[in-house]
Structure 1
Amino acid sequence: MAAADKPWGRRLIVCCDGTWQSSVTDKENVPSNVTKLCRVLDRFGTDRKNPGKKWHQIVYYDSGIGTGNLSGTESTRQGGTGAGLAENVIEAYNFIVLNYEEGDEICCFGFSRGAYTARAVAGLVTDIGVIQPLEMQFFPQVYRAYMNNHDGRTRFKDSDPWKKLVGELPSEKGQPIIKFKPNDESREIKVIGVWDTVGSLGVPDIGPFNNGGLRAKFGFHNVKLSGHVKHAYHALALDERRAAFRPTLWYIDPKSVPKPELKQVWFPGVHINCGGGSDDGFSKMEGDMENISVATFTWMLQCIAPHLDIKQQAFDDYMNQYTSWLTNVRYRCTYQHPQTEDWSTWLKKKLPDVPLITLGTPTDPLTPPKRAEKHEHTTFDFGWGVGPILDSFNKLYLANGTYPRQPGHEMMEVNGAWIPIKGIKGDEEHPLTGYETNEFIHPLVHYRRSVRLARGDAEWDEWTYHGTAHPLAKWKREHKRGDERFWWHKVVEDDPAEPRWLPEWVILPHGTQRNFERSWYETAQELGRKLSTAHAARDKGKVEYLTGLDREIGFEVGSKLQNEWP
């Protein structure tokens, strides 16, 4: 076949939204980062290494668990338990199976519970590859065998259940179920990007409701990042302190060959700030109006831009939509605050993870929301990531307590127990593992802290309930001369953990291609000065933050620095 006649390859892009989040609904909603990503991806792309090669970019969008035309009871049951998780994983894998051709690229994205789905789908692909469409008839048997392979030390493809399925070992049924074994090429994941994966499942324990059995049944098989994943990106919420929402980081075994590219970056904010989709802004005029979530969104765009094609006009249109909305809220808001909502919706927000609550009938979706007279909001700070962060820990989570996140020294859940990913120096039970997590601190953390100090606020967003200290309260930020970055260092005497030096993420200058992160910074700062007199006064006569940071770390446009792990 002549090159001109050869069909384009496809990038199969699986996007999984968080619990109760859906962009395909008849209700007003705030788009999550997953939804925004779907809407700015181009429908075709050009190969970076071979400009003559073109790609179709085909997006599969999966609404979050607990969405759709469900009763209040069923919606809450699905959102509070593992119900629906297996279906979501299988549906996404089925999409890949029905569309995959040799040479195609597979990418997965998700937030919160959707991050679990994305990681589980990617785990399936990297462990067993892509089977043939007709063999999906037998996939329930394959999936059961896969999920029952709890020994993480044994690859599923090396396990007896898989060997029986493909006829490498005698089967009770005599015939192999999978007659056409997937080739190794089909096991490759080009990109996986997630926002704040929590728990080993995304199903936390809340009070008396212990979901440990569900986690044991459906828990991750891929906390260790597979060598079949080329690029993995994870945005993490620094200020989330609910013990029920402990983060699940990836790690790389240094012996892995090939070694994936892994970048896990800490941002200010709680879980919803990281993944986006909060309606606190228009319903109650509370929170940061989705500002931080736009920072994590543009960070993800910048990470994946070398591997996927972003439609520049769609990104510009989104920025215009968002800034126009903020301008309207500032000068001519017509939202009612707080909005009147039926009691089932209110309770679902207050009890997002408690199953089996009997809820009433939701309001008629065809009834438009009530509007108020036009009014202004003069107190918001619209600058880059400096708006208020709402503490997600409330009385419903008292039974589980708090868990301040631990950059550089997080835990992983193994057989129901949480153990240090990297181990502890001198601890025989948890010796040092050598595992690599490739964590960074985003410069938005430092900028937010600087602005708060300048206006007389507390140094950190200190949560006073239970006296929880901020995760970076004992850290110092230092710049080493001759080094192209700042570093964060935890200073604690007699700390049993290894010294924790984490590099600061670098927002690169605009080069031949725009930097999405820097574009959002510039937009946010300009909007802040326009909408807030306090912001304008604060910035008057000062060097732009990123401009000053560029000078301090001493790199110009065209620098080779690409945020590789040091």
Structure 2
Amino acid sequence: MNSNKRQRGAPSNVTRLAKRAILPNDSWNNPQIVFYQAGIGTSFGPSGKFIGGGTGRGFSENVREAYSFLAVNYNGVGNAGDNIFLIGFSRGAYTARNLGGLLSQFGLLKKEHIDWFHDIFSDWQNAGKTDYQPQFWAKWTEWEKRQGRGGYVMKTPSGSAKLIDQYIEEYRRALLSISFTRDVRISAIGVFDTVGALGIPVNPVLQKVFRLPAFLHKYMWVDTRINDNIRNAFQALALDEFRAPFHPSIWERPDGCNTNLKQVWFPGAHSSIGGAYSDRDISNITLAWMMDQLSGDEFKQSGQDWNPMDWLEFDPDYLGEQIKFNLDYQRERGGERAWAEGAIHDSLTLPHMFTGRMIRRPGRTRPTKLATDFVDTSRLLRNTNERIHCSVRVRIGLGRGFEKDPDGGLLAVAVRFKFQKLMHKLSKRSGAAPPYDPLRNGPLSGWKFCDGHEYLEGEDLSAADVVSQSDQGLYWEFIGHDPLVGKKKILPEDALGTYEIYLLKQHHDRLLGQTGNGGDATRRLSRTRGILQRSASL
């Protein structure tokens, strides 16, 4: 499920996975069937993009369409059935997660009962509305009475999340009792920077002054939580996205849930992570990372129980093609760059400036209450299993900051870039940090990088060969001030997987073959070699 707004630009990672990277058949000739749909906010024309992206129009249609495809094509029963993988970017990620919630809560309708799905979906979506009566059960009851078998009565509960959960469970059991649905397991949900914005965004200042929710509401009930019905859940998150309406929807694993959850922070804005910018360096890294997750690479490398037929199989040569394509693009615009050194852009441009600015806080996110859309400031999300990707410290070490987006609107680019240049000049005069420094008043403010022995700080962090550190004990430690964060909270650095190392080696080999770049090429290659040395034992 894709939500790449730049239809005529670079394809999103979801598009690249669905249309090219996933092999049509695995090594055992099992078909890997792909169902692809455009995400919310991708309608042609400016009004379609604004209305769809701003209000979530199309969300219900996308969920219903994907669910119906699964119901018609699914083969098998329960754990013995097909493997289901749900992938999405941005609001498409939100759609994928809601589809996962629907499958977990109501199961997958049998093909012969799919005609009832519209009513059942409406009942699920309106759970919690006290003035709503379940449509499916009303119609089913009437049908049963005509057959002389009595009926089934069900009422929706109040807006309490606990009561809604009870209602959902009762509904599921009732569907099972009449053999309408079947329990299915979801092999994995893999998402790029989930955005839960399915309403009109409210400026953060107005939220505080007038006690308004983050969005003027839309649907009463959507569910992006994880549970034991979802075996694996993976999310790539953008560290440098500052648009308030693009606040990330981070998973929280409930106590007692056995889902394998991993959420990793990468450098760049929302579209750097999910793909949409012309320079694909960062999105290539997140693409390779997701390929590692969805192929079960971590289980395979750690010696855990790993069956290749439980995972997706990809075409590794596709990564090589993408590296060549992107280095050619960079060469036309000033010269090739080392791994993780590709362009990232500040997405807070016109007209997004008017919706407010918000800094993301890894490891420190407050939850949003499901029934109200208000942020619960009394606690942090728990059991999020967040990690920091090594490309973050590489960029900090290199000091490569934000650049103007060559594909952005001329007015927005001009205004924002002039402002950035002015601030950069002022920061130089005051002796401030390098252009890219999320440690100073940014998303990593209050965190320090540790290698198990020492902390590289300030100029040392920028000048040090950060990519040649030992692969043992690398982590980020919180030393800042946050009343909800305990002392010495740790975010580990995520280890590179097989596809990631392949991407890095291919990038290194292609750069090594370039000539005429002088000392700058030597410097970039030394950084890449450091990463290779660190990754050699993985």
**1:220 maps to which of 222, 229, 236:** 222
Matches within 5 A, 1:171-182: 179-182=178-181
Report the CA distance between 1:19 and its aligned residue.
4.7
Q: CA RMSD in A?
A: 3.4
**2:341 maps to which of 386, 395, 415:** 386
Report the CA distance between 1:405 and its aligned residue.
0.7
Task: State the alpha-carbon separation in 1 of the partners of residues 14 and 82 from structure 2.
Answer: 22
Task: State the alpha-carbon separation in 2 of the partners of residues 194 and 203 from structure 1.
Answer: 23
Pair 129,534 (structure 1): closer, same or farther in 2 beyond 3 Å? farther
Secondary structure at the aligned position of 2:359 is classed as coil
- Deviations for 1:263-291, whole angstroms, at most 9, x for unmatched residues? 0000000100010022xx3xxxxxxx111
> Counterpart of 2:192?
195
**Is 1:418 aligned to 2:378, yes or no?**
no
Matches within 5 A, 1:166-565: 166=175, 179-184=178-183, 186=184, 188-199=185-196, 201=198, 204-205=201-202, 215-217=217-219, 220-223=222-225, 225-256=226-257, 259-278=258-277, 281=278, 289-306=279-296, 307-312=310-315, 315-324=316-325, 326-327=327-328, 330=331, 376-378=332-334, 380=335, 382-414=337-369, 415-419=372-376, 430=378, 435-452=382-399, 458-459=433-434, 461=436, 469-480=441-452, 484-493=472-481, 495-499=483-487, 500-508=489-497, 515-528=498-511, 530=514, 532-533=517-518, 535-539=520-524, 544-550=529-535, 556=537
**Is 1:37 aligned to 2:17, yes or no?**
yes
> Counterpart of 1:105?
83
Task: State the alpha-carbon separation in 2 of the partners of residues 71 and 194 from structure 1.
Answer: 26
Name whichever of 539-548 and 401-410 sits farther off: 539-548
**1:152 maps to which of 161, 165, 168:** 161
What amino acid is aligned across from residue 282 of structure 2 in structure 1? Answer: I
> Counterpart of 1:116?
94
Secondary structure at the aligned position of 2:195 is classed as coil
Secondary structure at the aligned position of 2:264 is classed as strand
> Counterpart of 2:412?
none
Pair 75,492 (structure 1): closer, same or farther in 2 beyond 3 Å? closer
Task: State the alpha-carbon separation in 1 of the partners of residues 394 and 215 from structure 2.
Answer: 42
Name whichever of 442-451 and 129-138 sits farther off: 129-138
Pair 458,533 (structure 1): closer, same or farther in 2 beyond 3 Å? farther
What amino acid is aligned across from residue 89 of structure 2 in structure 1? Answer: F
What amino acid is aligned across from residue 60 of structure 1 in structure 2? Answer: F
Pair 219,157 (structure 1): closer, same or farther in 2 beyond 3 Å? closer
Report the CA distance between 1:543 and its aligned residue.
7.9
Report the CA distance between 1:199 and its aligned residue.
3.0
Task: State the alpha-carbon separation in 2 of the partners of residues 321 and 252 from structure 1.
Answer: 34
Asked if 2 retains the 8 angstrom alpha-carbon contact of 1:77 and 1:83, the reply is yes
Secondary structure at the aligned position of 2:108 is classed as coil
> Counterpart of 2:31?
56
What amino acid is aligned across from residue 230 of structure 1 in structure 2? Answer: R
Task: State the alpha-carbon separation in 2 of the partners of residues 76 and 293 from structure 1.
Answer: 24
Asked if 1 retains the 8 angstrom alpha-carbon contact of 2:477 and 2:490, the reply is yes
Secondary structure at the aligned position of 1:523 is classed as helix
Secondary structure at the aligned position of 1:77 is classed as helix
For these two proteins, the number of residue pairs brought into alignment is 434
Task: State the alpha-carbon separation in 2 of the partners of residues 324 and 395 from structure 1.
Answer: 30
Secondary structure at the aligned position of 2:69 is classed as helix
Pair 206,31 (structure 1): closer, same or farther in 2 beyond 3 Å? farther
What amino acid is aligned across from residue 442 of structure 1 in structure 2? Answer: H
Identity of aligned residues (%): 29
Task: State the alpha-carbon separation in 1 of the partners of residues 379 and 276 from structure 2.
Answer: 40
> Counterpart of 1:176?
none
Task: State the alpha-carbon separation in 1 of the partners of residues 345 and 336 from structure 2.
Answer: 14
- Deviations for 1:518-551, whole angstroms, at most 9, x for unmatched residues? 1112233344452754541314667812244348
What amino acid is aligned across from residue 443 of structure 1 in structure 2? Answer: C
Pair 401,138 (structure 1): closer, same or farther in 2 beyond 3 Å? same
- Deviations for 1:279-310, whole angstroms, at most 9, x for unmatched residues? xx3xxxxxxx1110111110000111124333
Secondary structure at the aligned position of 2:503 is classed as helix
Asked if 2 retains the 8 angstrom alpha-carbon contact of 1:201 and 1:219, the reply is no
What amino acid is aligned across from residue 489 of structure 1 in structure 2? Answer: E
Report the CA distance between 1:114 and its aligned residue.
0.5
Asked if 1 retains the 8 angstrom alpha-carbon contact of 2:85 and 2:186, the reply is yes
Name whichever of 156-165 and 476-485 sits farther off: 156-165
Task: State the alpha-carbon separation in 1 of the partners of residues 527 and 124 from structure 2.
Answer: 58
- Deviations for 1:302-337, whole angstroms, at most 9, x for unmatched residues? 11112433343xx3145225414532652xxxxxxx
Asked if 2 retains the 8 angstrom alpha-carbon contact of 1:206 and 1:397, the reply is no
Report the CA distance between 1:413 and its aligned residue.
1.6
What amino acid is aligned across from residue 220 of structure 1 in structure 2? Answer: V
Task: State the alpha-carbon separation in 1 of the partners of residues 353 and 58 from structure 2.
Answer: 27
Report the CA distance between 1:410 and its aligned residue.
0.9
Report the CA distance between 1:468 and its aligned residue.
8.2
Asked if 2 retains the 8 angstrom alpha-carbon contact of 1:196 and 1:236, the reply is yes
Gaps of at least 5 residues in structure 2 are 129-159, 297-309, 402-427, 454-469
> Counterpart of 2:53?
79
Task: State the alpha-carbon separation in 2 of the partners of residues 133 and 125 from structure 1.
Answer: 14
Report the CA distance between 1:406 and its aligned residue.
0.7
Secondary structure at the aligned position of 1:42 is classed as coil
Asked if 2 retains the 8 angstrom alpha-carbon contact of 1:33 and 1:275, the reply is yes
Pair 42,431 (structure 1): closer, same or farther in 2 beyond 3 Å? closer
Asked if 1 retains the 8 angstrom alpha-carbon contact of 2:127 and 2:220, the reply is no
Pair 194,413 (structure 1): closer, same or farther in 2 beyond 3 Å? same
Report the CA distance between 1:388 and its aligned residue.
3.3
What amino acid is aligned across from residue 234 of structure 2 in structure 1? Answer: Y
Pair 534,153 (structure 1): closer, same or farther in 2 beyond 3 Å? farther
Secondary structure at the aligned position of 2:35 is classed as strand
Q: TM-score, normalised by structure 1?
A: 0.69
Asked if 1 retains the 8 angstrom alpha-carbon contact of 2:94 and 2:196, the reply is no
Asked if 2 retains the 8 angstrom alpha-carbon contact of 1:249 and 1:437, the reply is yes
Task: State the alpha-carbon separation in 1 of the partners of residues 45 and 282 from structure 2.
Answer: 32
- Deviations for 1:94-143, whole angstroms, at most 9, x for unmatched residues? 11001012211111000001101111111111111110123221212111
Secondary structure at the aligned position of 2:36 is classed as strand
Report the CA distance between 1:82 and its aligned residue.
1.5
